[in-house]
Amino acid sequence: MHIAILDHDKCHPKRCNHECQYYCPPVRSGTPTIEFPEPDSQAVINEGLCIGCGICVHRCPFKAIKIVTIPDELNHDLTHQYGLNSFRLYSLPELSKGKVTALLGQNGMGKSTTLKILSGLLVPNFGNYEEPASKNSVTEKFATSVMGDYFSGLYDGSKKAVLKDQNVDLIPKVVSGTIGEVLKKGDVQGRFDDIVSMLNLGASLNKDVKSCSGGELQRFAIGATLLKEADIYLFDEMSSYLDIAERIRVAGVIQKLAKEKTVMVVEHDLALMDWMADTVHVVYGQTGTYGIISGQRTSNKAINSFLEGYLREENVRIRNYTIDFHEKSDRRVSTGIEIASWTDMEKTLGDFKLRINNGMIRTGEVIGVLGKNALGKSSFAKMLAGVTEPDSGSLSRTLKISYKPQYISSDFDGTVFALFAQALQERMQSGLIKNEIIQPLEIEPLYDQNVQDLSGGELQRVSIALTLSMDSDLYILDEPSAHLDSAYRMSAARIIKRVMENNKKSAFVIDHDVYFIDLISDALIVFDGKPGQEGESHGPISMREGMNLFLKDAGVTFRRDAVTRRPRINKTDSRLDKTQRESGNYYYSE
């Protein structure tokens, strides 16, 4: 069975003279696979005639065609198809009251589509995209399963679902007023004070939504969702912009909610998902082409299978490489030479006071930067990059620096290719850049898109690739994992690490994803203090010392998974959690 995906935004038949049609093998026997029904119209691919040779894919100069071969039996599980030659979703997850169910997989494979179906915003058509979707056909399809009762209640109005959208950064464009005002308007249950307390929003109630930070917008969106009266709560990416302490706090709120309601989450922070979810469905397939939702697994088994890249129960390989974690040294070890250093520095920003203790970085070294929000991590990055100057102290900045800020601008008026061509010039032709950065981050498929039309994840990948492609000695990346799915996060971590080691360059990486920091870092700088009032840096220090300092402040302990060696959050007040707290070893029990 062959799936044909045709991106009509990229298809320009006037400019290519229908080359894809004339080179398709069935044409030679008199039956065209690719047709242009009207003069100068866009192509239509007859999937019944397609033999999956892939010639049309290679002939298309605009990369508008994808041909994918999948097993015929999958057709029986087709849940939704958006239209002719377009994305398909196979199967649906099972939800049950009293548990947190999660979806794990790459972006563009149908997770958000699944949440829309489960919320009732989208009625699945089971592949019959030419007719209006029928709610009756949905209830009949799932009549003998748990999901039959789910959809019956959803469609007859006896159950209500509410969905928290993933794009919290768009909230200021559609919402006006202060956080407190907006939340009170939506408080139909009289739980305003409880929700504000649980999400630690008290200090933000008088802030206008349009001036809120990413973390405040995320907690605001979660709070607005929780204040609604519903039976089913669906959360699409709930950890973006939150530090680890905030993530654990929010996850605890969701776990408590699941004891009384039906809850599903889509989450890319694997450590958080492992700690929060009871069951997980892995979503696999091909980005923008099709997605398949696997059967239920425990969170531990699902994440280990995802990292291995192989689903044993389905006998399916979802990735051609494994993601490996390694033990970190107790000491900061580096054979490189010092390339930059700084003395004790201070900076006052309004009512906030920042103190940076002296340190240095060597060639080939990646230093991870950790700490709660509003402690000065981004301000430190700006001082290193020369965007701002310290009030006292100094940095040795005789080297070239490439800097990716926390919040990425999409103001460039042009395509991704034009952006790279303007920024890199002749470096665009570098085989090293193409092989080590552009191809692994899958930037080439984005070349023809306008920068202003990119999604958050696509813009993040472009920004990382552009930063790493610059001819620099020191690279500073502020929250590179934001908006990236789990697979791209792990891939980005490997790419950044490899670029630094192979080219003997150095990097500072600020992030809140512990998996990401664990994979990428040789040493750590940890910030502590009082958020919004004062912050102080410690380090660079060893991974173990830095993690112990950071996690003690966050109130969380970690252990290593026995199979994959990945970091895992201990259950609060568990035997291992208590033992590690007493020993002062918050970063792994070994």
Q: Which tens digits make up the pLDDT trace of 97-137?
A: 899 999 999 988 999 999 999 999 999 999 999 999 999 99
Best CA proximity match to 272, nearest among 306, 233, 308, 238: 238
Give residue 167's pLDDT band: very low, low, confident or very high (50, 70, 90): confident
Q: What is the pLDDT of residues 232-263, one digit of tens each?
A: 999 999 998 899 889 999 999 999 999 999 99
| Range of weakest confidence among 24-28, 207-211, 290-294, 556-560 | 24-28
Q: 204 and 241 in contact (C-beta within 8 Å)?
A: no
Mean pLDDT within 542-556: 92
Share of the chain above pLDDT 70, in %: 96
At 349 the pLDDT is 93
What is the CA 224 to chain-centroid distance, rounded? Answer: 22
Q: 305 and 312 in contact (C-beta within 8 Å)?
A: yes
At 329 the pLDDT is 57
At 392 the pLDDT is 96
Phi, psi (deg, nearest 5) at residue 23: -105, 5
At 333 the pLDDT is 62
At 330 the pLDDT is 59
What is the three-class DSSP state of 95? coil
At 188 the pLDDT is 86
Helices marked H in 232-336 — which ranges?
A: 244-258, 270-276, 299-308
- Map out the domains of the chain with their CATH numbers: 2-69 (3.30.70.20), 338-542 (3.40.50.300), 555-590 (no CATH)
Instruction: Spell 333-347 as b/e; 16+ CB within 10 A means b.
Output: ebebeebbebeebeb
Considering the entire predicted model, what is its pTM? 0.87
Q: 118 and 264 in contact (C-beta within 8 Å)?
A: yes
Mean pLDDT within 61-69: 85
Q: What is the pLDDT of residues 342-395, one digit of tens each?
A: 999 999 999 999 999 999 999 999 999 999 998 999 999 999 999 999 999 998
CA distance 268 to 528: 25
Q: What is the pLDDT of residues 2-49, one digit of tens each?
A: 888 888 878 887 777 777 877 777 776 677 788 887 766 778 888 888
At 51 the pLDDT is 84
The two tokens of residue 345 are 């520095």
CA distance 224 to 175: 12
Mean pLDDT within 316-324: 88
Best CA proximity match to 51, nearest among 76, 80, 29: 29
In Å, how far are 118, 169, 270, 278, 338 from 221, measured between CA atoms? Answer: 19, 10, 21, 23, 44
